[in-house]
Amino acid sequence: MAESNRRGEDAADDRLDDEAIDDAIDDDAIDDDAIEEDAKEPVSRGGTATRSRTKADSADSRSKAKSETDRVGIFGRMGRFVREVVGELRKVIWPTRKELLTYTAVVVTFVAVMLAIVAGLDFAFAKGVLWVFG
């Protein structure tokens, strides 16, 4: 079930195919003009995908978003917020029951160990203070 909820696997496969095609191109077959044109294009290596926008695109999107929020009332904005929250929760890959029990056991064990360490240090410092000042 969790496998079907994963997003972006097809996009990753497409990027790998494009990289394989690019690697297969012979370096001697590329002429100097193509290299100069490629040098003008920004190259992104890994990380978050970004898309460059023209100044006109970004100005239009800002003015459109501002005018839409001016016309929408408080209930419309709350409704949009709830729809966006539900949409984001649908993207979450929820753990299976077995994973949930495993993670819960790990957290409870870690908290118990830390509790024992803090309790031991507290007891030792209390005895030390009573011995010094006592």
pLDDT, tens digit, for every residue of 70-101?
688 999 999 999 999 999 999 999 999 999 99
Q: Are residues 82 and 129 in the same domain?
A: no
State whether 101 and 79 are in the same domain. Answer: no
Is 40 within the bounds of a domain?
A: no
Kindly tell me if the per-residue pLDDT of 134 is higher than 60. yes
pTM: predicted TM-score of the whole model, two decimal places: 0.39
Q: How many domains does the chain have?
A: 2
> C-alpha distances in angstroms, 118 versus 10, 16, 23, 112?
49, 50, 57, 10
* 100 plus 90 within the same structural domain: no
- Range of 122's domain? 96-134
Contacts from 107-113 at CB under 8 Å and sequence distance 24+? none
Q: By the 8 A CB rule, do 94 and 3 touch?
A: no
